[in-house]
Structure 1
């Protein structure tokens, strides 16, 4: 009976470990490349070279900064949650 309980505990813990590893990997993949964020700087530079209105460019840069901050906050929150589960 104790062995059955222990097996059940280990099974639950293994599921949580698998979950945390998968979420950690998904988080890194999505932030690194999943949303083509690396292209934003190049596209803003293209607008700058084409003499686009500076207010528009600044607005886009501000949106980019806000989004990057949101992603960083999400990453930090997720990392803390995963660490607590580990």
Structure 2
């Protein structure tokens, strides 16, 4: 009976590890995405309002910082599961 419970716990932990690893990979892909950089470059080339471009750059910095914080939290969670 204890082995059955232990097996169930191990299966659940493996599912959690798989899920968190997948989410960590998604975070890496989000951080590495060049979409916003391309958009900023395009706006600059088209001589769009600099205030809009600066606002977009600021939002990008904020989002990247949030993603980095989330990535760090995810990494700590995975390490604690191991």
Q: TM-score, normalised by structure 1?
A: 0.66
* Aligned residue runs from structure 1 range 1-86, under 5 A: 14=14, 17-29=17-29, 31-32=31-32, 40-86=36-82
Q: Aligned Cα RMSD in Å?
A: 2.8
Residues 54 and 81 (structure 1 numbering): CA distance in 2 closer, same or farther, change over 3 Å? same
- Work out which of the two has the higher radius of gyration on C-alpha atoms and give 1 or 2: 1
Unaligned runs of 5+ in 1: none
Residues in 2 aligned to 1:2 and 1:43: alpha-carbon distance in whole angstroms: 57
Residues in 2 aligned to 1:47 and 1:4: alpha-carbon distance in whole angstroms: 60
Q: Could you list the structure 1 runs, at least 4 aligned residues long, displaced by more than 2 angstroms after superposition.
A: 1-35
What displacement does 1:78 show? Answer: 0.5
Residues 83 and 59 (structure 1 numbering): CA distance in 2 closer, same or farther, change over 3 Å? same
Q: Secondary structure at the match of 2:47?
A: coil
Number of equivalenced pairs: 82
Residues 21 and 43 (structure 1 numbering): CA distance in 2 closer, same or farther, change over 3 Å? closer
Unaligned runs of 5+ in 2: none
